[in-house]
Structure 1
Amino acid sequence: MKLVSWNVNGLRACVNKGFNDYFKAIDADIFCIQETKLQEGQINLDQMKEYHQYWNYAEKKGYSGTAVFTKIKPLSVRYGLEADQEPEGRIITLEFESFYLVNVYTPNAKRDLSRLDYRMEWEERFLGYLQELDKLKPVVTCGDLNVAHQEIDIKNAKSNHNNSGFTPQERGKMTQLLESGFVDSFRYLYPDREDVYSWWSYMPKVRERNVGWRIDYFLVSSRLASSIIDAQIDCHIMGSDHCPVILELEDQLTQGA
């Protein structure tokens, strides 16, 4: 079973930069995207007819938004953390027979950290949400979590301490999430692999020099760790300031799904 997650930073723009070719070539069972930056009816993806499509649009035009394309029809779909859909379109949860899939685009604390307090409150609610799901079935959560967890996950750790995405508060919430019963699939398999990132600034030569951050993840309930076959980061794929991340799980996980 192959799952892919990609912050496309505007799906319409990404489609013009090779998204469809990558989507077809990777042939994922489930493909999650973040930052769709569009509203219903603004894009036609009829070429994905073999996939069930689920969209969570932000109320603000050209902002945020998530989507999931899945070959496996879910038992149920939920949008947002609470019963009512959240206005920024950040979460889609699909329930399958054997697990929950949560596609998430975590709020950015902003460069001046003006949204850090909101981010901390959001993180608390998100952790509680995953824990409640995990009581029912194992959880696979993926997306742009907007945090480089450890120094190994960022090129210039020393100069970025206290910057948005690498503050002690944000990193602490990531630690708390993992310690509550979840596994970072990439670090589970490759605990010491360096210089592998999923996001690069658009500043000149930054991506060419691989001055990046690993802020896109696949996390799984700890009891699914033994089902992980591989976790990869497709650093060579362009089209966005992020690149796709991939998780391969044993097929038996989807039996009956």
Structure 2
Amino acid sequence: MLTLATYNVNGIRAAQRRGITAWIGRRSPDVLCLQEVRCPADKLPLEVFEGYHAVCSPGSLAGRNGVAVLTRAPVAAVRGWGGEVLAIDEGGLSTLDPARVGLAGGAPARALREFVDEGRYLEVDLADEPVTVGCLYLPKGDSLLAPGVRTRTPTPEQLEGVRARYEHKMRFFKGFSTQLARSRRAAVRSGRQFVVVGDFNVAHERADVRNWRPAQKASGFLPEERRWLTEQLGPRTLVDVVRALHPDEDGPYSWWSWMGQAFARDTGWRIDYHLATPRLARTAVSATTERDADPSARVSDHCPVVVEYDTARL
């Protein structure tokens, strides 16, 4: 059995203060993918990684982004987009020799080159399972139709910022579609199954947003964003594992705003996914979003999404 968890921690140091180490110790996933690590190498709280071997792409944008993959055994291979990759194990922290880090999908698609140093993607080949795991933090983006823009008179500078964030995300979509297909095909050619997990910053269906009607004009639920996610899915390509196991359920949500009573009222969004090749998806026996017991116990504005894969069936 392979227990794979994805968790946007909204800053690893803040998550440590709020109790993520206790959750890891209690849940003990075989593989844990983290997004929004948001921490320079010399300030990473290494105790969070105890008991694991980890690789981390921190990115070069101070206080933003960063992804990490934690595994019980050292990975057979690690691939990124060409930026710095750190290794964390019992020996401490080190920078991986670039010669040991492959390029995901062979090389970044042209549209992804501007994202190479942003700390948004890593993939690893597990040593003890025939599975390649990708860890993704997709840009949040923005919307000119969002309520916050429509209810005030934005300055030209503000509008330009909104437009730039929107276009940034659209360019990522274009490039990542190509890279995702390349990574999936490369895994299958090598005799492995493929799964990409993480924060996609897109809710796919109405059931994935509690208040879906107003959300239609907000970043994360725009028609073009939802259409992009639809295009990544298919019976021969990638399966939304959580939705496959919870076909008729609202949610289960994985993100709630810190503001107001969103968490207490379960006014959430499902934006954290496991997208797996069909053969691997069919081995999933459970999928849970491990929502904190109450607002005061929250580690992040996201909760972990954990899937159990019966890999003996591969």
TM-score (norm 1): 0.92
1:148 correspondence with 2:149: no
For the Cα contact (< 8 Å) 1:68–1:103, is it kept in 2? yes
Name the CA shift for 1:73/1:253 in 2 (closer, same or farther; >3 Å): farther
Q: Which runs of 5+ in 2 are unaligned?
A: 82-103, 145-161, 188-192
1:139 correspondence with 2:194: yes
1:105 to 124, 129, 137: 137
Distance 2:48 2:288 in 1: 26
Superposed displacement of residue 129, structure 1: 1.5
1:201 correspondence with 2:261: no
Superposed displacement of residue 96, structure 1: 2.9
1:244 correspondence with 2:304: yes
Distance 2:54 2:313 in 1: 21
The structure with the greater share of residues assigned to helix is 2
Match of 1:173 in 2: 228
For the Cα contact (< 8 Å) 1:196–1:235, is it kept in 2? no
Distance 2:221 2:47 in 1: 39
| Segment of structure 1 superposing worse, 6-15 or 102-111 | 102-111
Match of 1:184 in 2: 240
Distance 1:174 1:165 in 2: 11
Name the CA shift for 1:206/1:174 in 2 (closer, same or farther; >3 Å): same
Taking CA–CA contacts closer than 8 Å with sequence separation of 6 or more, which of the two structures ends up with the larger relative contact order?
1
For the Cα contact (< 8 Å) 2:11–2:37, is it kept in 1? yes
Superposed CA deviations along residues 188-226 of structure 1, whole A, max 9, x for unmatched, are 111111152111111111110111100001110112222
Distance 2:64 2:48 in 1: 24
Name the CA shift for 1:175/1:74 in 2 (closer, same or farther; >3 Å): same
Superposed CA deviations along residues 150-172 of structure 1, whole A, max 9, x for unmatched, are 00000111111121000001100
Superposed displacement of residue 124, structure 1: 2.3
2:180 to 112, 130, 138: 130
Instruction: Please state whether the residue corresponding to 1:107 is helix, strand or coil.
Output: coil
Distance 2:299 2:142 in 1: 23
1:95 correspondence with 2:125: yes
Superposed displacement of residue 110, structure 1: 2.4
For the Cα contact (< 8 Å) 1:195–1:210, is it kept in 2? no
For the Cα contact (< 8 Å) 2:10–2:301, is it kept in 1? yes
Superposed CA deviations along residues 43-76 of structure 1, whole A, max 9, x for unmatched, are 2324644311111012111111111110132211
Rg larger in 1 or in 2? 2
TM-score (norm 2): 0.76
Superposed CA deviations along residues 74-101 of structure 1, whole A, max 9, x for unmatched, are 2111123646881210001102361211
| Segment of structure 1 superposing worse, 166-175 or 115-124 | 115-124
Report the AA paired with residue 249 of structure 1.
Answer: Y
1:222 to 271, 278, 295: 278
Report the AA paired with residue 173 of structure 1.
Answer: W
Aligned ranges for residues 33-72 of structure 1 at < 5 Å?
A: 33-46=34-47, 48-72=49-73
Match of 1:210 in 2: 266
- Identity, in percent, stands at 31
